[in-house]
Amino acid sequence: MSNGLVNTRDQQFLLFEQFKIDGLFEREPYSDFSKDIALMMMSEAEKMAVNVILPTYAEGDREGCHLDKTGQVRVPKCFHDAFKKFCEGGWLAAVRSPEVGGQGMPVSLYTACSEFFGAANFAFLMYSGLTSGAAHLIELYGTEEMKNKYMYRMYSGEWGGTMCLTEPGAGSDVGALKTTAKRLPDGKFLITGTKCFISSGDQDLTTNIIHPVLARIEGDPPGTAGISIFIVPKIRVNDDGTLGEPNDVKVGNVEHKMGIKGSATCTLIFGEDGKCVGELLGKEREGMRIMFNMMNEARLEVGMQALGHASAAYEHAVQYAKERIQSTPVWEMKNPDAKAVPIIMHPDVRRDLLWMKAMVEGIRAINFFAAYALDMAKFAQTPEDRAKYLGFAELMTPICKAYSSDMACLVTSKAIDVYGGYGYCQEYPVEQYMRDVKIACIYEGTNGIQALDLVGRKLGQNQGKNVMNMAAEVQNTINRAKAVAGLKQYAAKLEEAYFAFVDLTMTFASLGKSSSFLIPILNASPYLELFGDVLVGHFLLWGAEIAQKRLEEIFEAKGADTIGKRRALVHEDPEVAYYEGKVAAAKFFAAEVLPTVKARCEVIKQGEKIPIEMAIESF
Ligand SMILES: Cc1cc2nc3c(=O)[nH]c(=O)nc-3n(C[C@H](O)[C@H](O)[C@H](O)COP(=O)(O)OP(=O)(O)OC[C@H]3O[C@@H](n4cnc5c(N)ncnc54)[C@H](O)[C@@H]3O)c2cc1C
């Protein structure tokens, strides 16, 4: 079932047994799809990931990107052929509508495909991801002329795209940006300023690059309210679609980074010679609102980047643990003739592996569900249902991004532990997974900023209904699991964690109006982690409930009416082994992680403010 990167069986379980996305195929906009087509597309994505993208993983890391003497950025050579094949396969615009050159894939289905791609090489995937996102902004807000000029060529992969927000003095605080836009008589604008850390800011994969750039029109107010967004091509495009003069966009630098070295992270200087021309996208001073469309998509993609790395690290660690022979088993301690065993036989290694498995399956469920919620919002037939599912996606976006990336860092680190000294060396891929995944905690808004977004904005959104709807989902899972033999005690553990978390959330809501409003801000990051833990507990237990029922059906069908016969089936039947693992991961998470939720909620509720009361000099 495993290709060394992603457990395809678990993907299929989530999509078709847990979320039942085949229900989406019953009517518009997904009536052209069927379960068979979906499985075929996932299989094609797997082939693309394993045969085309994966071979670029280590090579792209070793070669990295560089700025040549002509001022052009060169990406790893092996990316060129892979990028061409990826675009020819229609993957760059897979979720976009067929009317604009896409495949109209349900987001949840594409999410499963993108897990393969991200696990194979996320640095490579950055070029297509940013291009698709930037083209989508033009699709949503551009004029017909802009669409004809830029969008189609971006969706086909002929031209690249970026997102240009960050400046040296404006990172988390985007409103502090200094890039300016000066009106020209023809309605266009002269753009002047420096953007830093721009992914795919320059590259030699495409013949032109289209930059959506945040800037302030001269005279507009400070802060985010005064920001507009402009389409700035690297090379100007003539009215007949041919390439014209360079547009005064220079590369100041390519960063030397800890990871994702194949992704070109550039400083871009716009208008050094006063000749950089941009076109307004949408309305003036609506730049942040417009850019948020791309940022929200990108945040979910970063969650998938985290999942892909965690998944690949776990799959490698399990495989290695089954093969690496080291140390005699603890129960043979006194036997001088005992033989060394595969390290997966040692309890400490097994414990780490099961924690990794539970976490990978948990964050897979969180990310797939957020994608499914976006599909359901399109599919919904009533405004209430639409609002409910959009609400899930909005609420979960900061959790998908921040919780997945924080946990993926831990999973990749544990994978190195499983490999021992070999894990720390380049000979094996796990050290690269850990280096590559760390950026997921930082870009698209740091995880600290995601936590503030959750506490400060998302909890209260839609008069708190989004959180209440999610709470109802968790409560339903608890109720269903309580009725399944063998899961009752684990449902009780989720219930205890859930009550403590709901209580903390209510406390936060009441503190918002008092002088203790700093408590939620101070504890936003631990709160986000608690939310993630409760959601993982919920999705795993929901999965366990289904898996347990399937097991009973298989046992009955095969006449496995004793424990011995059932144990034997685990070794003979991969389906039984999969379902057993699904149940075990849920039980483990409920037994080991969920009981800490209540204590961590209590810690926050104590209301200690030591970090903010302590003098800066005392740090
Ligand atoms: C490899 C890479 C690729 C990138 N790609 C892009 C890209 O394509 N486009 C783009 O525009 N940007 C990109 N970025 C920039 C990235 O989004 C920023 O680095 C990030 O938003 C943080 O900004 P900063 O680095 O200035 O850190 P700062 O804003 O200085 O933050 C430093 C620390 O302070 C914390 N902090 C800041 N303000 C607050 C606050 N109000 N409350 C609590 N904590 C706070 C942060 O959480 C962080 O821990 C990229 C960065 C890297 C490293």
**What pLDDT is stored for residue 517 in this prediction?**
82
**What pLDDT is stored for residue 87 in this prediction?**
98
CB of 4 within 6 A of ligand 1: the answer is no
pLDDT, one tens digit per residue, over 6-25 is 999 999 999 999 999 999 99
Number of domains the chain contains: 3
Compute, in angstroms, the gap from residue 421 CA to the centroid of ligand 1.
33
pLDDT, one tens digit per residue, over 359-395 is 999 999 999 999 999 999 998 999 999 999 999 999 9
**What pLDDT is stored for residue 588 in this prediction?**
98
**What pLDDT is stored for residue 1 in this prediction?**
47
Q: Would 54 be classed as within a structural domain?
A: yes
Compute, in angstroms, the gap from residue 266 CA to the centroid of ligand 1.
14
Q: Is the pLDDT of residue 436 over 70?
A: yes
40 burial via Cβ count (<10 Å: 0-12, 13-18, 19+): exposed
pTM: 0.97
Ligand 1 pocket mutation, candidates 442, 444, 525, criterion most atoms within 8 A of CB: 442
The secondary structure of 168-190 as a DSSP string is TTBSS-GGG---EEEE-TTS-EE
**What pLDDT is stored for residue 28 in this prediction?**
87
Q: Would 422 be classed as within a structural domain?
A: no
Compute, in angstroms, the gap from residue 171 CA to the centroid of ligand 1.
5
Looking at the structure, do residues 175 and 145 belong to the same domain, yes or no? no
Looking at the structure, do residues 605 and 531 belong to the same domain, yes or no? yes
Mean per-residue pLDDT over the chain, rounded: 97
Looking at the structure, do residues 538 and 481 belong to the same domain, yes or no? yes
Q: Is the pLDDT of residue 122 over 50?
A: yes
Structure token digits, residue 520: 């939620």
pLDDT, one tens digit per residue, over 162-176 is 999 999 999 999 999
CATH of the domain at 81: 1.10.540.10
How far is Cα 392 from Cα 498, in angstroms, rounded to an integer? 17
CATH of the domain at 240: 2.40.110.20
CB of 446 within 6 A of ligand 1: the answer is yes
Write out the catalytic residue numbers.
444
CB of 455 within 6 A of ligand 1: the answer is no
63 burial via Cβ count (<10 Å: 0-12, 13-18, 19+): middle
Q: Would 512 be classed as within a structural domain?
A: yes
CB of 194 within 6 A of ligand 1: the answer is no
Q: What atom of ligand 1 comes closest to residue 449's alpha carbon?
A: 47
Element (H, E) at 374: helix 347-379
Decide which of 251, 285, 319 is a domain's last residue. Answer: 285
Q: How many CB atoms lie within 10 A of CB 242?
A: 7
- Structural domain including 72 reads 8-155
Angle of CA points 266, 272, 276, to nearest 5°:
90
The residue to which tokens 């289904």 are assigned? 546
Q: Residue 514: pLDDT band by 50, 70, 90 thresholds?
A: low
CB of 172 within 6 A of ligand 1: the answer is yes
Compute, in angstroms, the gap from residue 446 CA to the centroid of ligand 1.
6
**269 three-state secondary structure:** strand
